[in-house]
Amino acid sequence: MLIKHLNKNTVKRIYMKQHLFGTNGIRSIVGQAPLTFINLPLLGLAIGQSIINHYGKNAQVLLAHDTRISCSFIKSALGCGLSLHQLTIYDANVLPTPAGCRLVQQNQDFKTGIIITASHNPYYDNGIKIIDENGVKIDEKEETEIEHLFEKIKNSPISYDTLGSIHYWPYAADRYIATICSLFPAQFLDGITIALDCANGATSKLAPHIFRKLGATVIPIHNAPDGININEQCGTQHTQDLVNTVLAHNADIGFAFDGDGDRLVIITKDGIKKDGDDMLALLASNPPYDQETTIIGTIMSNQGLEQWLASHKKKLIRCAVGEPAVWKHLKKHNLTLGGEPSGHIIMTNYLSSSDAIYTALRLLGIIITTNNWKLETFTHYPQINLNIPVTVKNPLDKPPLKNIIEAAQTELPDGRLIIRYSGTEPLLRVMVEGQDQKKVNQVAQTVAHKLKKELSTSGE
């Protein structure tokens, strides 16, 4: 059942003061704060007031969403609050997040974009990403402003004096398709067979159409969304079906997208998975990025990438996990290329956020030119990534969790141990990396077991 019955703890969460925004917008289980029928209209009021504060009345807003069954509910409830302000809202219906970013960036009339999505999360989660007039996700200062407005509005009378309007915009997808196809030579994919895993998400119709329009023979899978099957054993998080499809059809390459189309994973014709680090290496070694001396990665970027860049007289600057953090560092250092292993790749000469379809096409241009269909890049250090479900997020920098982590690090003096809570899911993420695969496996399993045991005990 999507929306569970409210217990007393859930009711408390509905009304309690809270931080609405996580590492990449607002995200929650539908039916829990702030994604409730009580909170969403108030949230719409707060977001609308923030838009008015920055851009004045009559500002135009793009509204879009992915394919989750809860998007209609959230769009309606959020729209109730938004339309209490004198705003003009254009409903683009199903659209990948990067398509929304690109359309807002291109159209000077749009001052804000609101995308309803939970990205790679399962269907029962949903969220809200807010984009500024430059097609960039709003910064922490604007998020804090919305949180303060939300708290204020909960205890204030509602005015119905100046109402806005919501209009259906059926041509949004066509506009994005025309834009992205114009950036590549006509029919440049002619003779190439490509398997696409659309994660039953926002790229399900768009991606196959774009790749066919550019000349490819397309084998799409997981492109029949029903509201519940988004990211379900498919997409960037589950690539085995794509591997099987590439091998069964002798495809030249396979691309997996996530639910909202900002992450990309590649499967070579031999069935080998390639991640964001491989993509960064390919891009960094070819025009125009081969002239860059520095790229942005994250704490999760493989040491092999860092060493490869150094051998090419390039530097890797690491930042926190998440697309917003990558963009923030690109802007800070005035750089054009950055990304993370999960498949977010930002090329600022195109867009200030990650667009998986565009990234796939850019990489295809490089692969065709260099005939590098195996996507040979660098030797990855052995790395293990484990996820531990949690009900509480106890501090990792205090005993006993701190002691467990420090003990594990001593077992891997030449390696890396990254342990962090997910900003979008109730998970503790464990990453262990080193030169010895056996040792990496041993340390990863041991530390994960100890952390899981401690967290399960403290959560009782």
In this predicted model, what pLDDT tens digit does every residue of 51-110 receive, in sequence order? 999 999 999 999 999 999 999 999 999 999 999 999 999 999 999 999 999 999 999 999
List 119, 301, 342, 353, catalytic entry: 119
Domain with CATH 3.30.310.50 in the chain: 383-458
Identify the burial level of 139 via C-beta atoms within 10 angstroms of its C-beta, where 0-12 means exposed, 13-18 middle and 19 or more buried.
middle
Hey, CA dihedral for 401, 405, 406, 407, is it positive or negative?
Answer: positive
Asked: is 383-458 a CATH 1.20.120.1200 domain? The reply is no
Report the DSSP beta bridge partners of residue 165. Answer: 88
Residue 63, classed as helix, strand or coil, is: strand
Q: Tens digit of pLDDT for each residue in 309-335?
A: 999 999 999 999 999 999 999 999 999
Q: Give the pLDDT of residue 22.
A: 87
Name which of 37-46, 152-161, 169-178 the model is least confident about.
Answer: 152-161
Q: Tens digit of pLDDT for each residue in 209-263?
A: 999 999 999 999 999 999 999 999 999 999 999 999 999 999 999 999 999 999 9
CATH architecture, range 8-173 = 3-Layer(aba) Sandwich (3.40)
Whether the pLDDT of residue 113 is over 80: the answer is yes
Cβ–Cβ < 8 Å for 19, 147:
yes
Q: Give the pLDDT of residue 194.
A: 99
Whether the pLDDT of residue 14 is over 60: the answer is no
Whether the pLDDT of residue 17 is over 50: the answer is no
- Mean of pLDDT values over 132-161: 94
Domain with CATH 3.40.120.10 in the chain: 8-173, 183-370
- Order of all β-strands in the sheet with 337-339: 315-319, 294-298, 337-339, 345-347
- Mean of pLDDT values over 18-30: 88
For the segment(s) 183-370, the CATH number from 3.40.120.10, 3.40.190.10, 3.30.70.1350, 2.60.40.10 is: 3.40.120.10
Q: How many CB atoms lie within 10 A of CB 127?
A: 25
Q: Give the pLDDT of residue 456.
A: 84
- Order of all β-strands in the sheet with 217-221: 217-221, 193-197, 253-257, 264-268, 273-274
Q: Tens digit of pLDDT for each residue in 267-311?
A: 999 999 999 999 999 999 999 999 999 999 999 999 999 999 999
- pTM score above 0.85: yes
- Mean of pLDDT values over 371-377: 97
| 76 in catalytic set | no
Question: CB neighbours of 240 closer than 8 A, spacing ≥ 6?
Answer: none
- Mean of pLDDT values over 400-411: 94
Give the H or E element holding residue 84.
Answer: none
Q: Give the pLDDT of residue 418.
A: 95
- Order of all β-strands in the sheet with 416-421: 383-389, 427-433, 416-421
Name the average pLDDT for the chain. 94
Write out the two tokens for 326.
């990558």
Q: Give the pLDDT of residue 237.
A: 96
- Mean of pLDDT values over 376-386: 96
Q: Percent of the chain at pLDDT above 70?
A: 95
Q: Tens digit of pLDDT for each residue in 183-209?
A: 999 999 999 999 999 999 999 999 999
